[in-house]
Structure 1
Amino acid sequence: MYSSPRLSQLILGWPPFTSTPVPAYLTCRRWSRLPGLAEEGSSVSDESELIHQYLVEAAEAPSDGWVIDLGCGRGPTLAAFARTYPGMRLTGIDRSVESVEAAREMLADYSGRLEVLAADLRVPAPLPDGCADAVVSYNLLECLPDADPFFAEIWRLLKPRGKAVVAHVDFDSIVIEGADRQLDRQICHAFTDDQQTWMDHADGRIGRKLPGLVKASPLALTKVRTWVTSSTEMSGQAARRIDNIRQALTNSARRGTGLVALEEVDAWYAAVQESASLGRFFFAETAVVVSASRPA
């Protein structure tokens, strides 16, 4: 289910520094739900991404505990918890009503206690203090204008000694073989800095900032890891990431807010397709995974 030809993932842990190869699909977010190039939709993370199972393991929650997913989207991380711990209490929160409904539908057969709530995560969640054994969040933080209230909210929700796992792709880490050096850099940096219409805020370099943000929060930093994804074939989620870059930058160019011209986006996409047809394609991106806890 999670294997794909010539596709690899690498988890790097600190401390201590270790590396473990993991066969899997690619990590992703910022995917548009809508087909074509009409409009960007809210970000979507595919259930098949192995990183969701990794977040389950990193959370170290008791099998009968309460886990909260902030920015749960359509529920892929919740689904990973549900598969692993069928008796766990799960709560997901997302601002998108459509995503909340999709998560509820996907988890309709879950035997444990489940709540998926539509709420704005810029304000405190409608949940009691000190209720959660673990709080997880994947690819949410860049959309929030201020990180401090976010980490304060995680601290509020956690029980003493409760675990937090916050992960985010650093979009400025994206590597794609295809276009010439200048155009490649222009496109990748433009995507990193692009603020799509559904986003209140955007910081494509938030991944590298996560450790420092946690250190400055009430939480106690326990571990920092990187989740590196690579593919030598333009298929599956690698293809979807490239289509996402193309769509986001095309829409921004058409609105007159883009950092690159429409012709440059088209030239870059054609070069990537040619690279794939010649067997020279390569894609990689890095997510930063930070574990922390609420001190007793």
Structure 2
Amino acid sequence: MLEFGDEEARRLDRSYATSDVVAQRAQVLDMLRLRRGERVLDVGSGPGYLLASMAEAVGPAGAVQGMDPSPAMNAIARQRCAAMLWATVGEGDACALPYPDEEFDVVVATQVYEYVPDMPAAIAEVARVLRPGGRVVVLDTDWDSLVWNVADRARHERIVAAWEEHLADARLPRRLAGLLRRGGFEVVDQRVIPLFNPRLHADTFSANIMETIAAFVPGRRGVTAQDAADWLADLRARAAEDEYLFSLNRYSISAVRT
């Protein structure tokens, strides 16, 4: 698993500010269809960008609760939402949500459940804390959708395999609709949200995730620190030669508690 200390939290914060993830967040907000006065839970709220947007949407008559296991992430989220007193942040476990039954109108989890080994338990907890008719939106990545132009394909495949060790399920979106239906939900909307970078520059998701991957993979699947450095150099060389391309699909599902 990734450990989100201060440095990792800052790197993720930069990633969430890129135009790719800003566009993703707009899609999620559209699927949430928030109304003034609603009570919302953000499972795995991270640096709080979505939390702040949802707080603006529900207004002070509503309430938005962020939850993340990382103190470093929670500190960033609290600072981001400091002006909105109806937005709060705490720590918690996705499989044991620290909230009463039927506490929320809406639950959202973006880039969270691919880290959770016991998905039926996580879905059961969402159903428990949602009121009847309440809504949930879940977004996760299928890492088989990754396309990245590299010169050394064999090294790249080893690095991606090592990277996937930080996940409980690198292909979770394929199972999400069935998990939700079996957990007492009616699936009402499903979307693919591509992150597509035909150029490499600072305001791209891939410029940030490549650094995170390179920091994580040494010592896993036989990948060395030199392998990771050479992989980064390969990607930058593709950009210098005007041959850079990155694409990754995320899948978002909206469902209603029956």
Tell me whether 1:289 sits opposite 2:252 in the alignment: yes
Specify whether residues 181 and 98 from structure 1 end up closer, same or farther in structure 2 by C-alpha distance, changes over 3 A only.
closer
Q: Identify which of 46, 55, 67 aligns with 1:93.
A: 67
| Structure 1 counterpart of 2:98, one-letter code | P
The answer to whether the 8 Å contact 2:5/2:70 transfers is no
Structure 1 residue 270: deviation in Å?
A: 1.7
1:211-249 CA distance string (max 9 Å, x none):
232233222222221111101222232211111111111
Unpaired runs of 5+ residues, structure 2, are none
Tell me whether 1:77 sits opposite 2:50 in the alignment: yes
The answer to whether the 8 Å contact 1:67/1:133 transfers is yes
Q: Identify which of 214, 217, 221 aligns with 1:246.
A: 214
Structure 1 residue 155: deviation in Å?
A: 0.6
After TM superposition, list the pairs within 5 Å mapping 1:39-118 onto structure 2: 44=12, 46-48=16-18, 49-50=21-22, 51-87=24-60, 88-110=62-84, 113-118=86-91
The residue that corresponds to 1:12 in the other structure is none
The residue that corresponds to 1:188 in the other structure is 160
Q: For residues 11 and 128 of structure 2, what CA distance do their matches in structure 1 show? A: 26
The residue that corresponds to 1:20 in the other structure is none
Specify whether residues 83 and 173 from structure 1 end up closer, same or farther in structure 2 by C-alpha distance, changes over 3 A only.
same
Q: Identify which of 197, 202, 213 aligns with 2:168.
A: 202
TM-score normalised over the length of structure 1: 0.76
Q: Identify which of 227, 231, 244 aligns with 1:264.
A: 227
| Structure 1 counterpart of 2:151, one-letter code | A
Q: For residues 43 and 130 of structure 1, what CA distance do their matches in structure 2 show? A: 35
Specify whether residues 32 and 99 from structure 1 end up closer, same or farther in structure 2 by C-alpha distance, changes over 3 A only.
closer
After TM superposition, list the pairs within 5 Å mapping 1:209-220 onto structure 2: 209-220=175-186
Q: Identify which of 223, 248, 252 aligns with 2:189.
A: 223
Number of aligned positions between the proteins = 249
More helix by share: 2
The answer to whether the 8 Å contact 1:31/1:244 transfers is no
Q: Secondary structure at the match of 1:284?
A: strand
The answer to whether the 8 Å contact 1:210/1:288 transfers is no
More off after superposition, 43-52 vs 126-135 = 43-52
Specify whether residues 47 and 89 from structure 1 end up closer, same or farther in structure 2 by C-alpha distance, changes over 3 A only.
farther
Q: For residues 143 and 6 of structure 2, what CA distance do their matches in structure 1 show? A: 21
1:1-47 CA distance string (max 9 Å, x none):
xxxxxxxxxxxxxxxxxxxxxxxxxxxxx796655xxxx66993524
Q: For residues 93 and 205 of structure 1, what CA distance do their matches in structure 2 show? A: 24
| Structure 1 counterpart of 2:122, one-letter code | F
The answer to whether the 8 Å contact 2:189/2:253 transfers is yes
| Structure 2 counterpart of 1:276, one-letter code | A
Specify whether residues 32 and 177 from structure 1 end up closer, same or farther in structure 2 by C-alpha distance, changes over 3 A only.
farther
The answer to whether the 8 Å contact 1:32/1:244 transfers is no
Structure 1 residue 207: deviation in Å?
A: 2.8
| Structure 2 counterpart of 1:67, one-letter code | V
CA RMSD of aligned residues (A): 2.4
Structure 1 residue 154: deviation in Å?
A: 0.7
Q: For residues 120 and 176 of structure 2, what CA distance do their matches in structure 1 show? A: 11
